[in-house]
């Protein structure tokens, strides 16, 4: 390769890039704040789970609108408590953002002496709503039933249906309680550490049923090894149009997990507005839906104000359940 040719091409490219950047950057720079360096996105879980793949799918697209690289930092310590504290104490300069979920609300019911709750942060917006799926083994005793028959079977013989739940009052336990309350069925609660162990338990025949995220069970459903009886969301599921919600089947059960992006409380308005705009643009990009679909994350977006309202509503709902199951002593 001739050196002069190479550098000419390089220069032309650089010049073009600079022009493009100037044209794109000029109006934006006038009003909107944008990150000045690489952004840290704190995720309260270890690499590889639903929380994590959500963050990575989003970050991939959001970099385009933030204009700077977004680095996902996993802080699984203390079941997310470490990450929530870190988000709370980060410098409010917009270079550190955090991803929070329903556990932000429920942590207050199951843990003592934590210093955060849903009012500790400044919201950027909602990024996802992930429903749980009620699944049974297709070849198992409940594999031929629909939701109604399944619940009737559980009512006919209380404690005979072995329901795997992620331990320590996670979303699945709340959900199990909801189903029991509206239907009068009684499941035998089998606490297990995580979703993949529950999945394995159902496949191996140890468990009768479980409430799991679509990303955890999509493959087994497609292969015909698991049967979905219902999902606990509102909208129909992207990629699983046949699956009906509990509500559509006559049971008032509704408890999908929401995820949102947050900033530390003291973040100035200009920075908060900048991030809200970045997220709005990101969530409007069809690339997000594509990225979410590939990892089976449920797409949902709400702006900062609507997110605040959503989370307050979620807090009230979860408080009632927490009282009912005895986590909060009245």
Partner 1 sequence: MELLSNLALGFGVALTPANIAYCFAGALLGTLIGILPGLGPVATVAMLLPVTYALEPTSALIMLAGIYYGAQYGGSTTAILVNLPGEASSVVTCLDGYQMARQGRAGQALTVAAIGSLVAGCFGTLMLAASATALASVALSFGAAEYFSLMLLGLIAAVVLASGSVVKAIAMIVTGVLLGIVGTDINSGVERYTFGIFELSDGVDFVVVAMGVFGLTEVLKNLERVSSRDLVTTEITSLRLDREDVRRAAPAIARGTLLGSVLGILPGGGALLSSFAAYTLEKRVSRRPQEFGKGAIEGVAAPESANNAAAQSSFVPMLTLGVPANATTALLMGAMMIHNVQPGPKVMDSNPELFWGLIASMWIGNVILVILNLPLIGIWVKMLKIPYRVLYPAIVVFVTVGVFSIQNSTFLIYVMLFFAVFGYVLSKLNFEAAPLLLGFVLGPLLESNFRRAMLISAGDATAFLTRPVSAALLLTALFLLVLLVSPSFRRRREEAFQGE
Q: Near partner 1 by CB under 8 A, which window of 214-222, 246-254, 280-288, 304-312?
A: 214-222
Q: Is 287 in the site for partner 1 (CB under 8 A)?
A: no
- The helix, strand and coil proportions of the chain, stated in percent and rounded to the nearest 5, come to 50, 20, 30
- Residues 86-105 binding partner 1 (CB under 8 A) are none
Q: Is 196 in the site for partner 1 (CB under 8 A)?
A: yes
Alpha-carbon 185 to chain mean position: 28
Closest approach of Cβ 242 to partner 1, in Å?
17
Residues 272 and 304 sit within 8 Å (Cβ to Cβ):
yes
Sheet holding 188-192, edge to edge: 188-192, 162-166, 209-212, 133-137, 226-231
Compare residues 162 and 182 and give the one whose CB is closer to partner 1: 162
Closest approach of Cβ 269 to partner 1, in Å?
29
DSSP type of residue 141 = T
How far is Cα 73 from Cα 71, in angstroms, rounded to an integer?
6
How far is Cα 144 from Cα 150, in angstroms, rounded to an integer?
9
Q: Near partner 1 by CB under 8 A, which window of 21-29, 189-197, 272-280, 310-318?
A: 189-197
Q: What is the DSSP string of 46-62?
A: -TTSHHHHHHHHHHHHH
Closest approach of Cβ 170 to partner 1, in Å?
10
Q: Is 58 in the site for partner 1 (CB under 8 A)?
A: no
Compare residues 148 and 289 and give the one whose CB is closer to partner 1: 289
Q: Is 108 in the site for partner 1 (CB under 8 A)?
A: no
Q: CB 242: neighbour CB atoms within 10 A? A: 7
- 303 forms beta bridges with 125
Closest approach of Cβ 131 to partner 1, in Å?
18
Closest approach of Cβ 306 to partner 1, in Å?
29
Q: Near partner 1 by CB under 8 A, which window of 11-19, 107-115, 246-254, 262-270?
A: 107-115
Residues 275 and 124 sit within 8 Å (Cβ to Cβ):
yes
Half-sphere exposure of 259 (CA within 13 A, CB side): 22
Q: Is 256 in the site for partner 1 (CB under 8 A)?
A: no
Q: Which positions lie near partner 1, rule CB under 8 A?
A: 46-49, 52-53, 56-57, 59-60, 72-79, 81-82, 110-114, 159, 162, 166-169, 188, 190-193, 196-197, 199-201, 203-207, 215, 218-220, 222-223, 225, 291, 294-296
């Amino acid at each position: 390769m001739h050196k002069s040719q190479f550098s000419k091409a390089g220069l032309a490219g650089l010049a073009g890039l600079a022009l493009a950047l100037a044209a794109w950057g000029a109006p934006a720079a006038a009003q909107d704040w944008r990150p000045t360096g690489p952004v840290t996105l704190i995720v309260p879980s270890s690499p590889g789970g639903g929380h994590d793949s959500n963050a990575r799918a989003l970050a991939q697209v959001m970099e385009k609108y933030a204009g700077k690289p977004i680095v996902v930092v996993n802080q699984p310590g203390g079941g997310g408590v470490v990450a929530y504290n870190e988000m709370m104490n980060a410098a409010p300069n917009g270079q550190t953002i955090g991803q929070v979920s329903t556990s932000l609300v429920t942590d207050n019911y199951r843990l003592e002496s934590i210093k955060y709750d849903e009012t500790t942060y400044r919201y950027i917006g909602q990024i996802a709503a992930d429903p749980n799926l009620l699944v049974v083994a297709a070849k198992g005793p409940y594999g031929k039933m629909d939701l109604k028959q399944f619940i009737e079977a559980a009512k006919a013989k209380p404690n005979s249906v072995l329901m795997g739940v992620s331990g320590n009052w996670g979303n699945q336990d709340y959900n199990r309680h909801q189903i029991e309350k509206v239907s009068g069925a009684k499941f035998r609660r089998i606490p297990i550490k995580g979703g993949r162990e529950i999945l394995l338990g159902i496949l191996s025949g140890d468990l009768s049923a479980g409430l799991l995220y679509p990303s955890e069970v999509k493959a087994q459903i497609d292969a015909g090894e698991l049967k979905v009886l219902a999902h606990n969301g509102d909208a129909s599921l992207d990629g699983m149009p046949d699956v009906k919600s509990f509500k559509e089947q006559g049971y008032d059960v509704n408890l999908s997990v929401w995820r949102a992006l947050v900033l530390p409380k003291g973040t100035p308005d200009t920075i908060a507005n900048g991030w809200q705009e970045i997220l709005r643009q990101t969530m409007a990009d069809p690339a997000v839906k594509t990225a979410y679909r590939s990892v089976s994350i449920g797409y949902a977006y709400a702006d900062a104000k609507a997110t605040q309202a959503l989370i307050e509503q979620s807090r009230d709902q979860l408080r009632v359940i927490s009282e009912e199951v005895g986590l909060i002593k009245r």
